[in-house]
Chains A and B, each alone.
Chain A
Amino acid sequence: MSSEESGPVPRPFVIKAENLTKTYGDVTAVDGISFSVPAGESFGLLGPNGAGKSTTMKMIGGVAQRTSGSLTIMGLDPEQHGPEVRAHLGVVPQQDNLDEELRVRDNLLVYGRYFGLPMSYLRPKADELLEFAQLTDKAKSKVDALSGGMKRRLTIARSLINEPRILLLDEPTTGLDPQARHILWDRLFRLKEQGVTLILTTHYMDEAEQLCDRLIVVDKGRIMAEGSPASLIRNYSTREVLELRFGSERNASIGGELEGIGERLETLPDRVLIYTHDGEAALEEVSARGLRPLTSLVRRSSLEDVFLRLTGRSLVD
């Protein structure tokens, strides 16, 4: 998968899901979703906790059986060909499950053995991946001596040991501080440049905007919208947003007085959002009506606004 495949020739789909459904008892975790991902794309599943993102990931990895619908990974059904499909997958689960009884480098070697890879291949590969994860000087450390960000990077390095064509990342930066997140994003960019297909779940809109070529917005197991981050924002939101805070007492009641400003008004418990093409102009209009918000902020629309528009709820609860 080198750069010549990213030319105008349509790339083959590495993942195809049709009407994918998963129920646990009475609960429908994934409710008939369909999507396909071409090789080399960075594809995101954006949604709040409980939207069915992780369940979808598990079905792709063949460690959860679908209730109905069809799913193929590189042309194979992961339920029938679990080990074979997973030989081409790298998996970064939501919670690190590094082997705490082994040291950092041994984690990579042993994980490679699970794929049946020979030590002659694994030794140089492990060193290369430690370098990639900026953990070379920690090679002999115990896993529990690593920081959260380092553990995450080790988990990603581990997921690359079998040179996967598809990398599944479930909430890759949840719980990391901003600096650790940026290091991680940088590493993921590099993988993308090398042609690895990234499948990523997140409830962080900035992460989705940074990393995803295309994404689906999921809520309650259903796809609410699909497209690139830019096109989703274009289609479901305005260019700018004016955020006003009047204090928790007044936010709810002020709506009537803001009527007619901008294209659309969204009232949240802690703030009021005015969707408009020109945020500054809207703010002037607010002042002209004699309203004095405690704080005001003009910003570009984000995927958060798209989600709010589609579901009436915010992403991070």
Chain B
Amino acid sequence: MTVLTQGHSVTEEARNRRFGPLYSRNAKAVIGRGLMATKSSNWLVMLSGFFEPVLFLLSMGIGMGAVVGTVQGPGGQEISYAAYIAPALLAVSAMNGAVYDSTWNVFFKMNFAKLYQGMLYTSLGPLDVAMGEIFLALLRGLLYATGFTAVMGLLGLITTPWALLMIPASVLIAFGFASFGMGITSFMKTFQQMDWINFIMLPMFLFSATFYPLSVYPEYIQWMIQAMPLWHGVELLRQISAGAFTPATAIHIGYYLVMIVLGLMLTTGRLRSLFLK
């Protein structure tokens, strides 16, 4: 066989780069790898991420809902308790999918599978890797969101066409968490440190006005919750689900846009310092 030929022109295209050593416009190779790997593994974990919010919706929404009755929705109208918490659970689901992909998955690939080390010895730059991995996290978020919205539809919790916008909004939420998650994970060295992520996620899930309105808290706690990303996601989806938009909608979206930009900067910077020492 010939290992050497003159045919290097095939790689020429990959070299038209604007970001120098950081980016070779080939995140699609990282995405392709992720899809191929998903075929062989992870299905149970993926499904559990989908079922968790569905189970919460069934138990809390239907079960608790029978006790609670109706509550006041974002537009001021009375809605069922299930319809109240469903968008919040969707936001949680988007967060969980993105965080799982961008933290545990990335942690494993970084420290044990040495996957990124191998990737960065090719024409790929750190930005290709970050964008590819984040795209995969978003794809998963999109699947969860679509599935969950379908479940909401089946349970009769969708009352306005606006509600379909919850799907792209979920992807926005996932993007915010994924871009940050990967950067934060790059600081983690041990499994114990990774547990801190759960330590932050669980209270955020429980207290971000997911199951009851923010107004039950004293004012200083309200401020704390409003500083957290999940609260903005919950409120955004809740508003969309009722088609009740206010100036706050723009603030929620803006919060995520800023989170995405800062997260991408953090992640790329970290990958660079980790792998291009």
Q: Does A91 contact B (CB under 8 A)?
A: yes
Chain A residue contacts of B8, Cβ below 8 A: 87-88, 163
The stretch of B14-22, B70-78, B152-160, B169-177 that contacts the partner chain: B14-22
Bound CA–CA A103/B40 (angstroms): 9
A-B contact pairs, 10 of them (CB 8 A): A62-B21, A84-B123, A86-B122, A93-B121, A98-B118, A99-B115, A114-B119, A114-B122, A116-B13, A163-B3
Chain A residue contacts of B26, Cβ below 8 A: 113-114, 116
Bound CA–CA A13/B24 (angstroms): 26
The stretch of B28-36, B143-151, B215-223, B257-265 that contacts the partner chain: B28-36
Q: Is the CB of B11 within 8 A of A132?
A: no
Closest to A22 in B: B277
Q: Binary interface profile of A, 83-98, with partner B (CB < 8 Å = 1, else 0)?
A: 1101111010101011
Q: Is the CB of B276 within 8 A of A93?
A: no
Q: Does B190 contact A (CB under 8 A)?
A: no
Bound CA–CA A116/B26 (angstroms): 7
Q: Does B247 contact A (CB under 8 A)?
A: no
Chain A residue contacts of B113, Cβ below 8 A: 97, 99-101
User: Which residue of the partner chain, among B10, B17, B33, B114, contacts A83 with CB atoms under 8 Å?
Assistant: B17
Q: Select the residue from B21, B115, B117 with max chain A CB neighbours within 10 A.
A: B21
Q: How many residues of A contact B (CB 8 A)?
A: 48
Bound CA–CA A89/B123 (angstroms): 9
Q: A110 with B121: in contact, given A82-B276, A117-B11 (CB under 8 Å)?
A: no
Q: Binary interface profile of B, 203-220, with partner A (CB < 8 Å = 1, else 0)?
A: 000000000000000000
Bound CA–CA A58/B1 (angstroms): 29
Q: Is the CB of B14 within 8 A of A116?
A: yes
Interchain residue pairs A-B with the least CB separation, the first 5: A116-B14, A82-B21, A114-B122, A97-B114, A101-B37
Q: Is the CB of A80 within 8 A of B123?
A: no
Q: Does B125 contact A (CB under 8 A)?
A: yes
Bound CA–CA A188/B121 (angstroms): 20
Closest to B11 in A: A87
Knowing that A81-B20, A163-B8 touch, tell me 7 more A-B residue pairs with CB under 8 angstroms.
A83-B24, A83-B123, A87-B8, A114-B26, A116-B123, A128-B1, A196-B3
